[in-house]
Amino acid sequence: MTPIETLGLTKYYGDLCAVDHLDLSVGNEIFGLLGPNGSGKTTTVLMLTTLLQPTEGSARICGYDICRQAREVRKQISYVPQEMAVDIKLTGRENVALFAKLYGIPRRDEAVGRVLEMMDLSERADDLVRTYSGGMRRRLELAQALVHEPKVLFLDEPTIGLDVAARRKIWDHIRTLRSRGMTIFVTTHYMDEADHSCDRVAILDRGLVIAVDSPAALRARVGNDIISARVRGVPRDSFPEGITLLGEREPGEMVFSTDHGSEKVPVLFHWLESQGVAVQSLSVREPTLDDVFLSLVTAREDGYGFDDHKFRMMLRRRG
């Protein structure tokens, strides 16, 4: 049975289309839903976890319909929302025990001990959560979510607000859960984290999925190398051969793709100078999912793909 399947799943808030005809099929994998703030990630998760009624379309979790079989769906899943959901006046163990009681878990103490151990919280289990770090609180939320042994785990921005080490640890745990056969549906606006840890990702832009693939396959779409340029001025002619403009990350920072970065940097530099464009810096690096997002969004805004004409118009508009 496919863990998650959506068919034209759609949500309107009044006139605003927050999620636009989502078609996804998610297997036993870490599936990342990526996109900037406001792109529809949380709305999608709320519908899939039966907490929000879709406007249109449908979805099945382990074969159960999210609207007509919501009770069955809830038995299969767990959901860790973005906002903190632990009681800081209780110990870690007491927090998890409450969940275990709520779910009517048999041999409760054993189950609680097991998930605390899984999340590396055994040593601090009897301390008040008030004394926990942000990363420990997040892991406690994961422990709670695991106590009834869900088949599908939904995590909404699990690493938001955590430091680098704590983030890494959360992703280590997520990968361990996947290796035990769990399906993990995780949202994030940190593209780099998804790149390292997700088996596949869907990229959302204003409610619409604009790409679904493995991070490596998506990166391969934008070529071998990225050249990032800080410039001032407007080129008159077409870009040199073998150099494609992906878009503008921020005013004055142009992002190009090419298959031969080190070869094309001097070409691009001389060409820009010859066009009367002041070059403040040029650098080559490997493509990231941010570059993929930029190229897809730029292409979508343009309708035909990003060309030199559009580039000049953009620079002109900016003055």
Q: Pick one of 6, 10, 39, 144: the residue that binds ligand ADP (CB under 6 A).
A: 39
Which tokens go with 310?
A: 């559009």
Choice between 42 and 295, CB closer to ligand ADP: 42
Query: Minimum CB separation from Mg ion for residue 275, in Å?
Result: 42
Nearer to ligand ADP, 189 or 260 (CB): 189
Report if residue 41 touches ligand ADP, rule: CB under 6 A. yes
Judged by CB under 5 A, which of 42, 49, 78, 91 binds Mg ion?
42
d(CA 220, CA 101): 48
Closest CA to 225 of 302, 299, 284: 284
Contacting ligand ADP (CB under 6 A), which of 6, 10, 42, 91? 42
Q: Is 10 in the site for ligand ADP (CB under 6 A)?
A: no
* Residue nearer to ligand ADP on the CB measure, 82 or 214: 82
Task: Report the alpha-carbon distance of residue 151 to residue 31 in Å, rounded.
Answer: 14
Nearer to Mg ion, 42 or 49 (CB): 42
How many residues bind ligand ADP (CB under 6 A)? The answer is 11
- Residue 111 in tokens: 């189950």
- Residues 145-164 close enough to bind Mg ion by CB under 5 A: none
Q: How distant is the alpha carbon of residue 268 from its chain centre?
A: 33
CB of 192 to ligand ADP, least distance (A): 17
- Residues in contact with 227: Cβ distance below 8 Å, sequence separation at least 6, in sequence order: 243, 255, 256, 257, 258, 261, 264, 265, 268, 282, 283, 284
Q: How many CB atoms lie within 10 A of CB 197?
A: 23
242 binds, among ligand ADP, Mg ion, none (CB under 5 to 8 A by kind): none
Interacting span for ligand ADP (CB under 6 A) from 12-20, 126-134, 209-217, 250-258: 12-20
Closest listed residue to residue 151, CA positions, set 47, 25, 4: 4
Distance CA 53, CA 284 (A): 46
Report the interface residues with ligand ADP, using CB under 6 A: 13, 16, 18, 35, 37-43
